[in-house]
Amino acid sequence: MPGGTALFIVGSDARDVEASLVAGELACLPCGGQLRPWGYARERTARLAEGTERHRSRRGRCRSCRKTTVLLPERFLARRVDSAEVVGEALLARGKGASQSVIASLVGRPRETVRNWLQAFSARAEALGRHFTSWALALDPTLDGVVARATAFADALEALGLAAQAASLALVPKPAWSWASQMTRGGLISTASYNTNWPAPPG
Ligand SMILES: [Zn+2]
């Protein structure tokens, strides 16, 4: 990421995150070194489905390479003000064929914003579909594959749903959009060229 700051998606419970950070359990993504507490990212206003929230992400700094890492809670996406759930609702509505203006009023956001989300997801839909399918297959051995839908956009959503469901059963129960953020390192609708390094499914 710009400024040499890495991003790490963490769980929603700030006390758990703090405890893991203080205990030295979080690893630096670039080098695997131990992250130590290192202040907070700038405060910002995040928009959730139920209203706004003032939020400051915790930050860690690597003992080895000294890079700082922002610990972004999984209900958010990288460099987006709107929560993963809000963006997800828009993506699902699009998957069912809703128009941009219908989606904009559904999620209470400007049409320009919604268009931006949909274009970003669409641009990476095939890669996202493959990525979520690999997660789903790794976590649910009974799965045969993902049934192809009419579009790459719909395929990616279908695979995302299967991957989130499999992860909630095999790992820990979480909302689907929190899994979507975890599985893309916050980059579900990122268009930045650096953000193609999505985490592989476990083991
Ligand atoms: Zn490091």
Extract the residue ranges of the chain whose pLDDT is less than 70: 1-4, 193-196
Ligand 1 geometric centre to CA of 102 (Å): 45
Cα 34 to ligand 1 centroid, rounded to whole Å? 7
Ligand 1 midpoint to CA 191 (Å):
25
CA distance 104 to 98: 10
| Residue 82 amino acid letter | D
| Token pair belonging to 126 | 């095939």
Specify the pairing of strand 6-10 against strand 51-55. Answer: unpaired
Angle at 124 between CA 111 and CA 98, to 5 degrees: 35
Which pLDDT belongs to residue 6? 86
Q: What was the pLDDT predicted at 4?
A: 59
The whole-angstrom separation of Cα 74 and Cα 72 is 6
Determine the pLDDT at residue 2. 41
